[in-house]
Structure 1
Amino acid sequence: MIVFVGMLPVMMMLFAFAMHLAQQMLAHARLLEAAEVASLAVAAQHEATQSQSEQLAQQVVDFYIKDNVGALTVTVGQDACTYASGCMQDAGELAPSMQTDVQVHSRYDSWLSFDAIGIKEQFELKGGSLSKRYLPKPVDVYLIVDFSYSMSWAWTDGQTKYAIVKDTLSRVVDQLKLYNKYNQEKSRIALIGFNRFSVRKVGGTRTLYNMDIYDNINETVAHMFEDKPAASNYYQSYSYYYPKNFHDIPLTEDYDHFLAELDTMTANARNAGTYSWQGMLRAAVVSDEATNLNPDQVFIVLSDGHDNTKTYNGVKTNRYLKMLVGAGLCQQLFDNMRGKTGRHGEAISVKAGVIGVDFLLDKESNGFYDCVGERNIYHASQGPDVYKYILQMLNEETGRLE
């Protein structure tokens, strides 16, 4: 009994210390949770100011912590890790990122106070959390667009398919401008049109080019990276049967020029069919000639119908693209790009997809299934789907938090 009475003060001090430690641990865990949620919330914002970020972090922390004394002190710091700063190279990162650091400082009333063992009436806690949001990498986008007559047909809300595609490409340019905010190098965009021919501007005049001049598919693929001569004057002079209502826009970071050129194009030529291999063969030349490559190379095909038939070895076929793909057209196109290096010596990533504009591609006959894979085939049943799917292809890593 005497021993118990002698130990009682010690036991009381241990009890008080344990209670205080438990309170601190619970409060600190809550504080760290609040800081982590606030950090993720701030990191996920789109183009917020420093004041807006601080206000959001304060609101989140105030929601989580209710038992503090006085005002909570919340600070927000953000730091970009980009190519320009050298941070990506030093850290071995593959994409630029924005790091968000939220620090919280809070004061509490102690459940128990015991000056003899240093437990004061109040105590302070500090803690924080660091979140990282991956930002867009600079990208080179090759838009391979169908200019067949059916693209002029009415679609969503009475707008033509081409009008919707044209508006969508303008929105894609806005997205690329956003990418440029985080990168020293600019994202670039190219347009490669196709119908019966490929069309380029030569000396300010639209000129027809046939990218498929060989009689053998293996020879066509073997020479796919070589440019072809202009089509003969016979084809150049018959614009009714061989229309020139569009032209290629080479890879550029001059978005105003891109949009101005796009504004001169139409898709209302009655005798324009769908010959998607013209676009893919032209894309091989354009991409191979590109220099100062960005780390992401993205090929996006926009088409609204089946390919026209082609006579090959005396037989009409609607599987000509599929035959070219089987001979290595897409494999060589994409492998050729992967074999190059970016402007900073980094590895090249290649993505490719096909968007059926109000058109469901046939898996059996359409060569794009073998070209880009089924998971990269999209069916835009409504106009807004076109932009949604393009953005999905461009933003595969963008906005990822950790």
Structure 2
Amino acid sequence: MKHAMRKQSGHAAMLFAIMIPALFGVFMLGSDGARALQTKARLEEASEAAVLAVSAKDEQDHQLAERYIQHYLYDMDSILDIEVKKLGCDEMPECIAATERGEARYFEYRVAGQTLHKSWFPGNDVISGFGDSFNVTGSSKARRYQSQPIDITFIVDFSESMNDSWSGGRHSKLNDLKDIIEDVADELGAYNDLYPEHPHRVALTGFNRRTINKDKNDNLVVRDQRVVSREGEYDKDDTVNFNKTIAQQFIVKGEASRVPNGDDDARFYDLYFTTDFSSFTKKVKKFKAGGGTASLQGIIRAGQIVTSMSKNQKQLIIILSDGEDWNHYAGQTNKLVSKGMCSNILNMVNGGKVSADNTHDDVEVIGGVSQGMMTPDGERMNARMAVIGFDYELNKNVGLRNCVGRDNVYKAENKEDILNKILGLITEEVGHLAQ
């Protein structure tokens, strides 16, 4: 019995000796295999970071991509190959198809790399291994959407309350707002300096209880955008024809028969789309506020400007106000909104059902449906409206909220907040990882 056990223990020792190379081989393959997988994951991360950096710089910068890979893969032996590509929209069928659907053009950036790494356990004739070295590849891509030029139309409250001081700034609300508009113009100017072939433009229309613009002789003309069927002694006594006001909202009105008390203390007028931001801000700086508040006046006038003078693919209409409409005007604004005052503006540009007469403009409307507006280059326009309210509770101005929709109403607590919200509406991402 003891003799048999000694024979079996000898067999076990021989079997273990035979298995040692295989066990070491499994250990080596497992160690280097796990390292290779981890290295590939790091190279993929490096490629993602590198392609975003390349897209932000907007160049086929091989050295920049190489530095990212070197930083992430500090234990590599060498970079065998690195490829950085920038593809224009015309080089990608999927981008061409997207533009035909009215979507934005984009550049696509691609970074691919291959690195060499020394094996920890190269193996030999007896024990399996990865060999002296192994290669790892990784790639990523990002898209940078071309920042489409924007026509921005400010609808600015020039009522008396804008002369008041407020907790959100050191000056009056009007003077702080002038500074904000100047800051926005500076941002747009910086973009236009980089891309002069596709410039942003800006326009402004103001309101108290009227709107004002200059005629051909440079004289100021005060206009009432409402259609009044019977005029009373004061605005509150007027009989407003709401249906006709909507039907004719895109028709430029004649001179107002009456200017409400206090409104003539204000001085402002329409500033049409321009890229001369220096001249634009100098004019805005001279504007004065006075009188009551009737946002419907500014909204209707802005619609006339946008539908007759816009050129860029994106149209952004921003209403800036410090409070609710005066008395009877609050009800008038909300009633006009319910009849399509704001949706008509958006649908005239974007395409859709409109309740306004279109015989006095160039927008094609068939069966009460606008076919949408096109840029001079034949691209479909897209319009958005937003309200930035400050120094009051937004829910108090139901008309403005219903005009643009709850998701497009923003409350600003201070001067910096207003600026950031305006720039947030304008700014586009530098790039994002492609799917």
TM-score normalised by L of structure 2: 0.74
The C-alpha deviation readout for 1:267-301, integer Å capped at 9, x for no partner, is 3x3xx211111101111211121253x22211110
User: Which of 94-103 and 190-199 deviates more?
Assistant: 94-103
CA contact (8 A) 1:35 1:102 kept: yes
The C-alpha deviation readout for 1:213-241, integer Å capped at 9, x for no partner, is 32311111111011111234x74xx9965
Q: Percent identity?
A: 29
Map residues 206-245 of structure 1 onto 2, 5 A cutoff.
206-214=220-228, 215-232=240-257, 235=259, 241-245=263-267
The C-alpha deviation readout for 1:299-348, integer Å capped at 9, x for no partner, is 110011221234xxxxxx63110011112111212111112233233333
Cα distance change of structure 1 residues 362 and 13 upon mapping to structure 2, 3 Å threshold: closer
Cα distance change of structure 1 residues 75 and 142 upon mapping to structure 2, 3 Å threshold: farther
User: Which of 85-94 and 187-196 deviates more?
Assistant: 85-94
Cα distance change of structure 1 residues 90 and 242 upon mapping to structure 2, 3 Å threshold: same
In the aligned structure 2, how far is the partner of 1:78 from the partner of 1:159? 51
Paired position in structure 1 for 2:181: 169
Q: Secondary structure at the match of 1:318?
A: helix
Question: Given the alignment, which residue of 53, 61, 82 partners 2:69?
Answer: 61
CA contact (8 A) 2:28 2:129 kept: no
In the aligned structure 1, how far is the partner of 2:273 from the partner of 2:318? 14
| Paired residue type of 2:350 | R
Cα distance change of structure 1 residues 115 and 97 upon mapping to structure 2, 3 Å threshold: farther
| Paired residue type of 1:68 | M
CA contact (8 A) 1:188 1:251 kept: yes
Cα distance change of structure 1 residues 96 and 80 upon mapping to structure 2, 3 Å threshold: farther
Cα distance change of structure 1 residues 82 and 228 upon mapping to structure 2, 3 Å threshold: farther
Question: Given the alignment, which residue of 86, 91, 98 partners 1:92?
Answer: 98
Q: What number of residue pairs does the alignment pair up?
A: 381
Does residue 257 of structure 1 match 2:279? yes
CA contact (8 A) 1:351 1:393 kept: no
CA contact (8 A) 1:200 1:247 kept: yes
Query: How many angstroms does 1:15 deviate by?
Result: 8.3
CA contact (8 A) 1:200 1:248 kept: yes
In the aligned structure 2, how far is the partner of 1:226 from the partner of 1:388? 34
| Paired residue type of 2:429 | T
Question: Given the alignment, which residue of 383, 390, 394 partners 2:415?
Answer: 383
Query: How many angstroms does 1:99 deviate by?
Result: 3.2
CA contact (8 A) 1:54 1:75 kept: no
The C-alpha deviation readout for 1:226-266, integer Å capped at 9, x for no partner, is 1111234x74xx99652351111112233233223223323
Q: Secondary structure at the match of 2:315?
A: strand
CA contact (8 A) 1:81 1:88 kept: no
In the aligned structure 2, how far is the partner of 1:346 from the partner of 1:88? 18
CA contact (8 A) 1:137 1:183 kept: no
CA contact (8 A) 2:169 2:414 kept: no
| Paired residue type of 2:176 | I
Q: Secondary structure at the match of 2:265?
A: coil
Query: How many angstroms does 1:211 deviate by?
Result: 1.5
RMSD: 3.7
Query: How many angstroms does 1:191 deviate by?
Result: 0.2
| Paired residue type of 2:386 | G
Paired position in structure 2 for 1:314: none
Query: How many angstroms does 1:105 deviate by?
Result: 4.1
Does residue 354 of structure 1 match 2:379? no
Query: How many angstroms does 1:90 deviate by?
Result: 2.0
Map residues 3-402 of structure 1 onto 2, 5 A cutoff.
23-43=35-55, 45=56, 54-55=63-64, 57=65, 60-69=68-77, 77=84, 79=86, 81=88, 90-93=96-99, 94-113=103-122, 120-155=131-166, 156-180=168-192, 181=194, 184-202=197-215, 203-214=217-228, 215-232=240-257, 235=259, 241-267=263-289, 269=290, 272-292=291-311, 294-310=312-328, 318-339=330-351, 340-343=372-375, 344-363=377-396, 366-395=398-427, 398-399=429-430, 401-402=432-433
Paired position in structure 1 for 2:7: none
The gaps in structure 1 that reach 5 residues or longer are 311-316
Cα distance change of structure 1 residues 76 and 389 upon mapping to structure 2, 3 Å threshold: farther
Paired position in structure 2 for 1:313: none
Query: How many angstroms does 1:195 deviate by?
Result: 0.9
The gaps in structure 2 that reach 5 residues or longer are 1-10, 229-239, 352-371
Query: How many angstroms does 1:34 deviate by?
Result: 2.1
User: Which of 118-127 and 15-24 deviates more?
Assistant: 15-24
Cα distance change of structure 1 residues 123 and 183 upon mapping to structure 2, 3 Å threshold: farther
Query: How many angstroms does 1:353 deviate by?
Result: 0.9
Cα distance change of structure 1 residues 366 and 186 upon mapping to structure 2, 3 Å threshold: same
Paired position in structure 1 for 2:234: none
User: Which of 30-39 and 119-128 deviates more?
Assistant: 119-128
Query: How many angstroms does 1:147 deviate by?
Result: 0.7
CA contact (8 A) 2:202 2:273 kept: yes
Query: How many angstroms does 1:386 deviate by?
Result: 0.8
In the aligned structure 1, how far is the partner of 2:87 from the partner of 2:151? 22
Cα distance change of structure 1 residues 88 and 321 upon mapping to structure 2, 3 Å threshold: farther
CA contact (8 A) 1:58 1:74 kept: no
Paired position in structure 1 for 2:357: none
Cα distance change of structure 1 residues 157 and 92 upon mapping to structure 2, 3 Å threshold: closer
CA contact (8 A) 2:334 2:402 kept: yes
TM-score normalised by L of structure 1: 0.80
CA contact (8 A) 1:78 1:98 kept: no
